[in-house]
């Protein structure tokens, strides 16, 4: 076994790999960019080496810098995690040339399966069913269009390199094809450095089911059952579970055998995942999609069900051990995982960001996290912050435990999908196991629709009153909230605005421990607010609150989070502009301008594309809200912009 291993990654996966290294007594080496100098994975390692600027190409994607870091620290092996260099053939080959063990499959297997076109050809020869689609690689736009005509709409455009849903586009109409090709190529080029695309038939009512395989270097290949990954947004998984509620034992065995054949066909070694698309109406109809030649984000659910540390298995295979896993691989119970993202589901899952004011992981379940209080979540990398995994004797128990865990999770300072995940787990079809890859998109409006509870506005008011409480040993009666006066206390009016909702007028009088509060003109109710407890009309609830540097008050309760600002009267009046009158076009997220499609003075029509902004490998196209003329064009391709930065003005 190795004595020192470098982890060529960041975030939660780097921390997770280091946890196994520490348990095995192996010295861990972290690498980091300037943006990650204070990140948890740096603190978790025995040694940490700076790579360079925040840009991935100059840090985590720099083969030379990672290899140099391994040499400088005496690392005998490199674990790539997932993403970045984990499926990079050149990196695996560079490790071999440097005499460093790559903890993953041979470069030849990465090359065979990393190119989706070649992968389909390889597994098809081994008798594995594949999705009908384009043949050959390096197709031009015209050749892709011809392939689409042959396959027939709807189709799915997919980058040949990479994975994670990046660059994938579903196309249902011929008039949308050219724009979809251009957008898919652009995102693929930015994510993987390769804009080669392929075309596949879009399976209706699709379910995404993948098989975990393990292979040693002595010819032994086994599978550890399947994971259901059908709950997705933007073609990226957000909830995964094992086993699938769809498959029978016979279907599981047939797909498992096909997965092992796919691994053998490319000479695989280590941990890998063979992904299949399954017709939810006809589970016997399943097709190979791709093989991920690395550890998957969702690997913990397999570990929880089978009791196997997949990272340890990877390390032992890389060290040359024979079948370093239990002789009998028997599943136990059910596990389900959710991915916690810095994103706004109500705004189409646009990335968010900010300083982490509070982070409290739940007890009683497994949490793999890459954030810490005080850290900053920026736009340089993927927006996934943590994974929360629950295990139970059956599926219903696992879901109950996971929901309870989400209820106890606290993340303040930036928008996240925590409340959305709770709503998704409560969906009747999700509870019943009636899943497909389009469920989230169909239900998105219902899953994100929620009013602001009165008790939250009451708690925000109580916290404001707490902040006004005098702290001196001797209290001047004129220093208490509302001042001292004969007769009844005076009412104080505040205008509170919760992010994503219209402002609400809240009136209060009294002190935090005993106040009356009227919300939106409603009847006054008695409230009492302490450091963590707020009681309203006799009902007490527990909150966690923190105030950001810009004055925003973040409040969490039961897995839900609200960002609340107090507006002065003039601010509220200024925010009520006429809708549809043009004006500034703002960046909806912090990111990088990748495309500017207009010029100063250009006449545009409502719906016309203006600017493309990318953040965390996700593109967002900004279109004209009304007919008008472009003025004050500030957007420049390649420029970094903040959330709500003015990109241009539409007259």
Q: The CATH number of the domain where 91 resides is what?
A: 3.40.50.20
Domain stops at, among 413, 448, 483: 448
pLDDT greater than 70 at residue 142 = yes
Here the CATH number for the domain that contains residue 500 is 3.30.700
> Comparing 135-139, 275-279, 397-401, 427-431, which segment has the lowest mean pLDDT?
135-139
Same domain, 558 and 588: no
Q: Establish if 76 belongs to a structural domain.
A: yes
Q: Check residue 614 and give its pLDDT.
A: 84
Q: Check residue 477 and give its pLDDT.
A: 63
Q: Establish if 156 belongs to a structural domain.
A: yes
pLDDT, tens digit (0-9, with 9 covering 90-100), for 56-93: 889 999 999 999 999 999 999 999 999 999 999 999 99
- The span from the CA of 336 to the CA of 300, in Å, is 9
Total structural domains within the chain: 5
> pTM, whole model, 2 decimals?
0.84
Residue 195, C-beta contacts closer than 8 angstroms, at least 6 positions apart? 159, 184, 185, 186, 188, 189
95-132 burial, b for 16+ CB within 10 Å, e for fewer?
beeeebbbbbbbbebbbbbbbbbebbebbeeeebeebe
Residue 217, C-beta contacts closer than 8 angstroms, at least 6 positions apart? 269, 317, 320
Same domain, 368 and 244: yes
Higher pLDDT, residue 497 or 114: 497
Q: What is the mean pLDDT of residues 467-487?
A: 65
Q: Check residue 642 and give its pLDDT.
A: 79
DSSP string, 354-380: EE--EEEPPSSSEEEE---TT-EE-SS
Q: What is the mean pLDDT of residues 445-465?
A: 94
% of the chain exceeding 90 in pLDDT: 77
Higher pLDDT, residue 191 or 322: 322
Nearest to 279 by CA among 356, 209, 197: 209
Q: What is the mean pLDDT of residues 599-609?
A: 94
Here the CATH number for the domain that contains residue 635 is 2.40.50.100
Q: Establish if 113 belongs to a structural domain.
A: no
User: What number of other Cβ atoms are within 10 A of residue 243's Cβ?
Assistant: 21
pLDDT, tens digit (0-9, with 9 covering 90-100), for 231-246: 999 889 999 999 999 9
Q: Check residue 578 and give its pLDDT.
A: 39
Same domain, 634 and 519: no
Same domain, 322 and 414: yes
Q: Check residue 575 and give its pLDDT.
A: 44
pLDDT greater than 60 at residue 574 = no
Q: Check residue 482 and give its pLDDT.
A: 61
Average predicted confidence (pLDDT) for the chain: 92
Same domain, 384 and 284: yes
Kindly indicate the confidence band of residue 380, based on its pLDDT and cuts at 50, 70 and 90.
Answer: confident
Contact predicate 530/544, CB 8 Å: no
pLDDT greater than 90 at residue 277 = yes
Same domain, 423 and 528: no
Contact predicate 241/398, CB 8 Å: yes
Q: What is the mean pLDDT of residues 161-178?
A: 88
Q: Establish if 119 belongs to a structural domain.
A: no
pLDDT greater than 80 at residue 185 = yes
Q: Check residue 579 and give its pLDDT.
A: 40
Q: What is the mean pLDDT of residues 323-341?
A: 97
Q: Check residue 573 and give its pLDDT.
A: 44
pLDDT, tens digit (0-9, with 9 covering 90-100), for 478-522: 666 665 666 677 889 999 999 878 899 999 998 899 999 999 999
Q: Let me know how long the chain is.
A: 651
Same domain, 487 and 502: yes
- The span from the CA of 144 to the CA of 154, in Å, is 14
Q: Establish if 121 belongs to a structural domain.
A: no
Here the CATH number for the domain that contains residue 419 is 3.30.470.20
Same domain, 69 and 91: yes
Q: Check residue 426 and give its pLDDT.
A: 97
pLDDT greater than 50 at residue 527 = yes
When mean pLDDT is compared over 116-130, 521-535, 562-576, the highest value belongs to 521-535
Same domain, 589 and 556: no
Structural domain span for residue 150: 132-201
pLDDT greater than 70 at residue 570 = no
- The span from the CA of 153 to the CA of 150, in Å, is 9
Domain stops at, among 540, 556, 572: 572
Q: Establish if 10 belongs to a structural domain.
A: yes
Q: Check residue 487 and give its pLDDT.
A: 67
- The span from the CA of 325 to the CA of 206, in Å, is 32
* Cα dihedral 114, 116, 119, 123 sign: positive
pLDDT, tens digit (0-9, with 9 covering 90-100), for 187-199: 999 888 899 999 9
Q: What is the mean pLDDT of residues 567-576?
A: 49
Domain stops at, among 152, 180, 201: 201
Q: Check residue 201 and give its pLDDT.
A: 87
Q: Establish if 146 belongs to a structural domain.
A: yes
Same domain, 295 and 390: yes
pLDDT greater than 50 at residue 572 = no
pLDDT greater than 50 at residue 100 = yes
Q: Check residue 282 and give its pLDDT.
A: 87
pLDDT greater than 50 at residue 386 = yes
**Continuous segment of H or E residues that includes residue 180:** helix 177-192
Q: Establish if 125 belongs to a structural domain.
A: no
pLDDT, tens digit (0-9, with 9 covering 90-100), for 35-53: 999 999 999 999 999 999 9
Q: Check residue 153 and give its pLDDT.
A: 93
Same domain, 47 and 19: yes
Q: Check residue 404 and give its pLDDT.
A: 98
pLDDT, tens digit (0-9, with 9 covering 90-100), for 12-28: 999 999 999 999 999 99
> Comparing 266-270, 471-475, 489-493, which segment has the lowest mean pLDDT?
471-475
Here the CATH number for the domain that contains residue 197 is 3.30.1490.20
Same domain, 384 and 241: yes
Backbone angles phi, psi at 457, to 5 degrees: -65, -35
């Amino acid at each position: 076994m190795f004595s020192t291993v470098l982890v060529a990654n960041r975030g939660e996966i780097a921390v997770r790999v280091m946890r196994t290294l520490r348990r095995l007594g192996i010295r861990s080496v972290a690498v980091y960019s300037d943006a990650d100098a204070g990140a948890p994975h740096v603190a978790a390692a025995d040694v940490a080496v700076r790579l360079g600027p925040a840009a991935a190409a100059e840090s985590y994607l720099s083969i030379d810098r990672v290899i140099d870091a391994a040499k400088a620290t005496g690392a005998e092996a490199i674990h790539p995690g997932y993403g970045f260099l984990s499926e990079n053939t050149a990196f695996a080959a560079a490790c071999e040339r440097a005499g460093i063990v790559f903890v993953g499959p041979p470069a030849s297997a990465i090359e065979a399966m990393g190119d989706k076109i070649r992968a389909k050809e390889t597994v098809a020869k081994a008798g594995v069913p594949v999705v009908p689609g384009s043949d050959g690689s390096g197709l031009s736009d015209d050749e892709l269009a011809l392939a689409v005509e042959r396959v027939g709409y709807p189709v799915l455009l997919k980058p040949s390199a990479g994975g994670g849903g990046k660059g994938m586009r579903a196309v249902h109409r011929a008039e949308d094809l050219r724009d979809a090709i251009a957008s898919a190529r652009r995102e693929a080029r930015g994510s993987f450095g390769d804009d080669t695309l392929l075309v596949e038939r879009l399976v209706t009512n699709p379910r995404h089911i993948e098989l975990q395989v393990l292979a040693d270097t002595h010819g032994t290949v086994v599978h550890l059952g399947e994971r259901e990954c059908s709950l997705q947004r933007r073609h990226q998984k957000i909830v995964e579970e094992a086993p699938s509620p769809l498959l029978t034992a016979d279907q599981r065995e047939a797909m498992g055998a096909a997965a092992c054949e796919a691994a053998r066909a490319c000479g695989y070694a280590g941990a890998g995942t063979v992904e299949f698309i399954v017709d939810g109406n006809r589970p016997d109809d399943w097709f190979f999609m791709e093989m991920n030649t690395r550890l998957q984000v969702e690997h913990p659910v397999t570990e929880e069900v089978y009791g196997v540390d997949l990272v340890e298995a990877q390390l032992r295979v890389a060290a040359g051990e024979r079948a370093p896993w239990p002789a009998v691989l028997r599943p136990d119970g059910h596990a389900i995982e959710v991915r916690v993202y810095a994103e706004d589901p109500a705004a189409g899952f646009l990335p968010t960001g900010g300083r982490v004011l509070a982070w409290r992981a739940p007890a009683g379940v497994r949490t793999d996290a890459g954030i810490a209080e005080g850290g900053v979540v920026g736009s340089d990398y993927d927006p996934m912050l943590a994974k929360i995994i629950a295990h139970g004797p059956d599926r219903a128990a696992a879901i109950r435990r996971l929901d309870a865990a989400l209820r106890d999770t606290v993340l303040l300072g930036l928008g996240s999908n925590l409340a959305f995940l709770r709503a998704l787990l409560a969906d009747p079809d999700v509870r019943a196991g009636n899943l497909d890859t389009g469920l989230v998109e169909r239900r998105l409006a219902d899953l994100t629709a929620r009013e602001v509870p009165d008790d939250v506005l009451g708690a925000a008011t109580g916290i404001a009153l707490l902040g006004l409480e005098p702290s001196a040993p001797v209290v001047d009666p004129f220093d208490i909230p509302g001042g001292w006066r004969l007769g009844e206390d005076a009412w104080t009016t505040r205008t509170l605005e919760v992010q994503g909702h219209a402002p609400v007028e809240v009136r209060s009088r009294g002190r935090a421990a005993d106040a009356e509060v009227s919300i939106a003109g409603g009847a006054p109710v008695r409230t009492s607010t302490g450091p963590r407890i707020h009681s309203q009309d006799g009902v007490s609830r527990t909150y966690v609150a923190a105030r950001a540097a810009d004055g925003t008050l973040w409040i969490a309760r039961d897995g839900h989070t609200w960002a609340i600002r107090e507006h002065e009267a003039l601010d509220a009046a200024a925010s009520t502009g006429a809708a549809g009158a043009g004006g500034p076009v703002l960046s909806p997220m912090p990111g990088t301008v990748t495309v500017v499609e207009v010029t100063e003075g250009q006449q545009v029509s409502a719906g016309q594309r203006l600017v493309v902004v990318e953040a965390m490998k996700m593109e967002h196209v900004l279109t004209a809200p009304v007919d008008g003329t472009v003025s004050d064009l500030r957007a420049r391709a390649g420029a970094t912009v903040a959330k709500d930065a003015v990109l241009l003005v539409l007259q």
